[in-house]
Amino acid sequence: MISPSKIRSLKVFEEEYEKTEVAISQLQYLLESGQVVREAVSDITKGITSWSGRRERLAQALLNGTIISTDEIPQVLRSDAISSSLMSTSQTLQTEIRNLGKESVILADLEVDGAPVSLASWRRFNAANIANLDLRRHAFDGIIELAYEHLRKPVQALFEAGRTAYSQYGTDPVSVFAQDAGISVERLKAIIHKSGTVARDPFLDLASRVWPEVLGHPINPVDDLYVWRPVVFTEFDEAYANQEPMTNFAQIMRQLGMNGFAKYVEIDDVPRPDKTPSPSDHPIKIPNRNIIVFKKGRPFENATSGYHEGGHACHLTEIDPNLPTSQRVLFPLSDIEIPSTIFETIATDPVYLRELGMDEETIGRVSERERFNELLYLQFYAALSLTKIAIYEEGLEIDQACERFEQLTEQYGIKLPGQYILTHHIIPRYMAVYSPAYLLAKIRAEDIVAGMKEEYGEDWWNNPEAGGFLRESLFRPGNNVDLNEFSSLDSNSYFDRVVGNSI
């Protein structure tokens, strides 16, 4: 290994930087796939810390101008280096927050899988008690109160570390996100605000029918996005029972001529108790080693999340292997969710469901549920994203952030208690701004899919020319793609579709 102080060229730097990425991804895959015996978990965690320390030193050397002149650093590498330059501080705080969630945010009077309910097992508890609203309400109130008591200090410390560290390099997490997305902070905020505003009325309207249909009671804040996710498609599992989502996805890949998928993607569907329940994609070495961690069960939900992760894998295994690291491995946060969002749309596309033999009545109901999902997501994520932005932009303290979140959730849909934000798995646990990425990806993916439907047919996933377009224009060039050629963030197509005819 070369000491960061001895590196004098961007090429050597990038090779060393990529090694840390490969090592960390490999270790993270071992953890999330549940393959490691419990006693070895701390060794793996130590390994991650040690590689992160190296990445941090490399990033600092780059940003301090000891490797190349700072104005020669490619933008996407600079953004990545800024967030990596404080990896150890942020990881220490993240581990503290995660451990407190497991060990202190605990409801002794409630159980799941034979253990008291903690913040870490709260979602599993909800899934196991879906029919018991009173019990779930009791857990909801208790978890939120304890999360506020135990997590507000380390979360505040994490945000303060983020402010200080980014300001060292003359920027802040919000500006970095917006700059990478190629838009101003004002425009980013306007897009998020618009998504919450347009979603509100159709969401409340559709919710008045879907809530009692699925959960048996009127609209209720206790049923958050994570209560919905596992149940919203359950009634279609039977119609989908003889489908194997990842086998179907591999078939789509063959039809599109995405050869990287068969060559480089491994599907790890071995059942293990410690495996994370939702599918995840682990690019170990881009483009030629990628593993999708997948747990069988809930067939329909697995199709939507499996096609999403499959989309990440497809994208990352079609990238030109000869590109330099900063074009091949690093992506602006605002762009990385686009390919996965494109492929995820296939799973609920009526044309595709017809191909799988689903009847028209069921397809109509799937489409309505999917629309409900999107609206629920929009109003909730708009509130979360704007709160996170305000924390950095206006320097909000935790209590002010809770207040802002409560006010925004009420403005866009269902009012949630402000302290709820401390229970979330993204907003209070990561320094960087990431959540608007999903929203921007939805807007862009809608345009790209519409373009493919027009050019290659309503069933574009059966047309190898559509595969050729995605591969050559969007995937192969790595991050060197001007997305504005294929989609516009001014487009209303996505909003028009999800808002539908209910307004």
Query: Considering the rule CB under 5 A, would residue 327 count as an interface residue with Zn ion?
Result: no
144 CB burial (10 A radius; 0-12, 13-18, 19+): buried
Closest to Zn ion by CB, 334 vs 340, is: 340
CB of 60 to Zn ion, least distance (A): 29
Query: Considering the rule CB under 5 A, would residue 435 count as an interface residue with Zn ion?
Result: no
Structure tokens at 164: 């200080």
Name the residue whose CB lies closest to Zn ion: 340
What Rg do the C-alpha atoms of the chain give, in angstroms? 22
Closest to Zn ion by CB, 83 vs 85, is: 83
Give me the residues paired with residue 293 across strands: 268, 280
Candidates 181-189, 199-207, 332-340, 384-392; binding stretch for Zn ion (CB under 5 A): 332-340
Candidates 285-293, 334-342, 353-361, 371-379; binding stretch for Zn ion (CB under 5 A): 334-342
Render 176-233 in DSSP notation, one character per residue: HHHHHHTS-HHHHHHHHHHHHHHHHHHHHHHHHHHHHHHHSSS--TTS-HHHHHHHTT
CB of 487 to Zn ion, least distance (A): 17
Q: How far apart are CA 56 and CA 84, in angstroms?
A: 5
Q: How far apart are CA 297 and CA 273, in angstroms?
A: 13
Candidates 27-35, 134-142, 330-338, 350-358; binding stretch for Zn ion (CB under 5 A): 330-338
Query: Considering the rule CB under 5 A, would residue 345 count as an interface residue with Zn ion?
Result: no
Closest to Zn ion by CB, 315 vs 369, is: 315
Query: Considering the rule CB under 5 A, would residue 179 count as an interface residue with Zn ion?
Result: no
- 364-368 CB contacts, 8 Å cutoff, 24+ apart: 365/235, 365/236, 366/233, 366/236, 368/206, 368/210
Candidates 283-291, 329-337, 422-430, 491-499; binding stretch for Zn ion (CB under 5 A): 329-337
Closest to Zn ion by CB, 317 vs 419, is: 317
Q: How far apart are CA 2 and CA 4, in angstroms?
A: 6
CB of 308 to Zn ion, least distance (A): 6
Helix intervals (H) in 257-349: 259-264, 299-317, 325-328, 338-347
CB of 445 to Zn ion, least distance (A): 11
Closest to Zn ion by CB, 21 vs 337, is: 337
CB of 61 to Zn ion, least distance (A): 31
- Which residues, at least 6 apart from 99, have a Cβ–Cβ distance to it below 8 Å? none
Structure tokens at 185: 């902070």
Q: How far apart are CA 411 and CA 495, in angstroms?
A: 18
Query: Considering the rule CB under 5 A, would residue 83 count as an interface residue with Zn ion?
Result: no
Query: Considering the rule CB under 5 A, would residue 290 count as an interface residue with Zn ion?
Result: no
- Given the DSSP bridges, would you call strands 265-268 and 289-293 parallel, antiparallel or unpaired? parallel
Closest to Zn ion by CB, 268 vs 337, is: 337
Helix H or strand E encompassing 109: strand 106-112
CB of 304 to Zn ion, least distance (A): 12
CB of 312 to Zn ion, least distance (A): 6
Candidates 3-11, 14-22, 340-348, 397-405; binding stretch for Zn ion (CB under 5 A): 340-348
Query: Are 311 and 346 in contact, with CB atoms under 8 Å apart?
Result: no
Candidates 47-55, 337-345, 360-368, 447-455; binding stretch for Zn ion (CB under 5 A): 337-345
Closest to Zn ion by CB, 211 vs 438, is: 438
Structure tokens at 489: 């963030």
CB of 423 to Zn ion, least distance (A): 21
CB of 341 to Zn ion, least distance (A): 8
Closest to Zn ion by CB, 84 vs 340, is: 340
Closest to Zn ion by CB, 129 vs 340, is: 340
Candidates 116-124, 199-207, 228-236, 336-344; binding stretch for Zn ion (CB under 5 A): 336-344
Closest to Zn ion by CB, 139 vs 252, is: 252
CB of 340 to Zn ion, least distance (A): 4
In three-state secondary structure terms, 476 is coil
- Which residues, at least 6 apart from 29, have a Cβ–Cβ distance to it below 8 Å? 282, 284, 291, 293
Q: How far apart are CA 310 and CA 463, in angstroms?
A: 18
Q: How far apart are CA 261 and CA 146, in angstroms?
A: 44
- Given the DSSP bridges, would you call strands 115-118 and 280-285 parallel, antiparallel or unpaired? unpaired
Number of residues lying near Zn ion (CB under 5 A): 2
Closest to Zn ion by CB, 55 vs 442, is: 442
> Taking Cα atoms as reference points, which of 343, 289, 345 lies closest to residue 316?
289
Query: Considering the rule CB under 5 A, would residue 340 count as an interface residue with Zn ion?
Result: yes
In three-state secondary structure terms, 118 is strand
CB of 430 to Zn ion, least distance (A): 14
Query: Considering the rule CB under 5 A, would residue 317 count as an interface residue with Zn ion?
Result: no
CB of 258 to Zn ion, least distance (A): 17
Closest to Zn ion by CB, 223 vs 337, is: 337
Query: Considering the rule CB under 5 A, would residue 348 count as an interface residue with Zn ion?
Result: no
Structure tokens at 189: 């905020």
**Which residues in this chain contact Zn ion in the complex, by CB under 5 A?**
337, 340
